[in-house]
Amino acid sequence: MAKVIEGLYYSESHEYVKVENGFGYIGITDYAQNALGNVVYVDMPDVDDEIEAGEEFGAVESVKAASDLIAPISGTVVEVNEQLNDSPELINQDAYANWIIKVKLSDESGLDKLMDAKAYEEFCNK
């Protein structure tokens, strides 16, 4: 069973958002990294890029497949996780500790459209 963490917001495309002080840390869930297998590359946007909820903002590539990253929420990219350039496998080691981008949230009400941990677990078990 994939690990799901309480207090995060989850999307149907298997991204999570951890919210702290008006910023959102966005990454892929444990379920997603497990399905992808060994992550070999992460395509990330640039700092200052605007991302829109429901739109693609990058991709994660594994030895098996490439998967688009879909923004779970809208905002402005303020930081990308540089460690993933040299060590994309960190996502496999701990998907929740190794977020992909940090965004300044433009509208926190968008979080209402996302799932909580319990709803996401049920979604994954379908």
pLDDT in tens, 7-50: 999 999 999 999 999 999 999 999 999 999 999 999 999 999 99
Q: Kindly report, residue by residue over 77-125, the tens digit of the pLDDT.
A: 999 999 999 999 999 999 999 999 999 999 889 999 999 999 999 999 9
Structure tokens at 30: 């444990």
Give CA–CA dist 89/19, Å, rounded.
Answer: 24
Q: What totals of helices (H) and strands (E) does the chain contain, helices first?
A: 4, 9
DSSP string, 11-55: -TTSEEEEEETTEEEEEE-HHHHHHH-SEEEEE---TT-EE-TTS
β-partners of residue 50 are 76
Residue whose structure tokens are 């395509």: 43
Give CA–CA dist 31/28, Å, rounded.
Answer: 8
> What are the φ and ψ backbone dihedral angles of 25, each rounded to 5 degrees?
-95, 120
Please give the single-letter amino acid code of residue 41: Y
